[in-house]
Amino acid sequence: MISRMKSLALPALSAAILTLMCGAAQAAAAAPAFKADPAKGQQLAASCGACHTQDGSRGAPANPILQGQHPDYLVKQLIEFKSGKRQNAIMAGMSAALNEEAMKHIAAFYGAKPPVPGTATNKDTVSLGERIYRGGIVAKAVPACAGCHSPNGAGIPAQYPRLGGQHVEYNEAQLLAFRSGARGNSAQMMAIAAKMNDAEIKAVADYMAGLR
């Protein structure tokens, strides 16, 4: 009798589980996929303009140009500022109030804009900067920057940032921060910068600014 009751209960249980699974799948299918909205991002980014200008363009050299940067990269940096993986007192405060959706809207706003062209400023170091960017420093096992950031400095979406057109001063400051460990959110860049001296960092930072 017990065996017969079990045999009757199993199909009913299976049917109930199948119904639940189908319901969950239908609910997931019905939920619209998230789509970042640049217009909403512009509203959310109003306070960012104090440091990055309202459109994320040139601004002060100490602050990065955001216009034309890959959205996925911007989101990654905001998440890491918020978590403390990347240290910056101002950006920790700015990102603290943002959830991931808001970050994606803001990133879409800046990413939708065309990249800002820049220029190298030191003609005496441009050759050294070009050699490092395109060929690395073989004697120090420093890889070519172009391998990850592309020959024209455009980077690779979701992996490596756009460097072309970025402020010379900001490029240099970030390489120095990677070298010192003050910026610790990329083990790869910390290892590379650790092998470079001040002159090499300054030269490649200047060269990158003129890429387009």
Where does residue 55 rank: exposed (0-12), middle (13-18), buried (19+ CB within 10 A)?
Answer: middle
Q: Which two tokens stand for residue 43?
A: 């509203």
pLDDT at 8 over 90: no
Dist. CA 128–CA 118, nearest whole Å: 18
For residue 13, the model assigns a pLDDT of: 44
163-200 tens-digit pLDDT: 999 999 999 999 999 999 999 999 999 999 999 999 99
Beta bridge pairs of residue 137 = 142
Q: Give the domains, in start order, of the chain with CATH numbers.
A: 38-111 (1.10.760.10), 126-209 (1.10.760.10)
For residue 32, the model assigns a pLDDT of: 76
Helix axes 168-180, 198-209, angle to 10 degrees: 140
The residues, any chain, with a CB within 8 Å of residue 23's CB and separated by 6 or more, are: none
Q: Within the chain, where are the H helices?
A: 2-30, 38-44, 49-52, 71-83, 89-96, 100-111, 126-135, 146-149, 168-180, 187-193, 198-209
What length does the chain have?
212
51-90 tens-digit pLDDT: 999 888 888 999 999 999 999 999 999 999 999 999 999 9
